[in-house]
Structure 1
Amino acid sequence: MLYAPEIVKLMRDLEGQHPERIVEVGDIVEVMQRRYPKGTRSRFRYAMVTMARRGMVERVGKGLYRIR
């Protein structure tokens, strides 16, 4: 999981902006694309789905995630 540690750190930063500590995958993808211009939207979305399958993050709705 190449991007997992950075995505978790980014989620912690973004959680403070949301009252229910939920982060939209679109926000994460947007920031990650700025950091890694060669990375595609699908690559970062796939990373989020993989993290959810491995139990690192929890999917709470369509495109919505929270750190476990």
Structure 2
Amino acid sequence: MTPGNTKAGNPSPYTFRDIDAAIAHLEAVLDKEGASSLFSRAYWRERILQASSTTGLAPKQRQRLHRLLERIETF
């Protein structure tokens, strides 16, 4: 993990090498648990924003994260 990998105050614990796995995990959890998650919408939003602040994201990765943000707004 790269220290100082930040954007808009959301430090990212991810790198371009492991972000796909992180996005896949977020997609799987939010698809399965959605609104019934034990964690709040604010928690998932922060996790997505952290992933979004990862340096070197490809456009497709940004699109996937944007869709996740839209999805949690429907919880």
TM class by smaller structure: 0.3 to 0.5
Name the structure where strand makes up a greater proportion of residues. Answer: 1
Higher relative contact order (CA 8 A, sep 6+): 2
> Is the radius of gyration larger for structure 1 or structure 2?
2
TM-score by length of 1: 0.37
Give the TM-score, by structure 2 length.
0.35
Greater fraction helix:
2
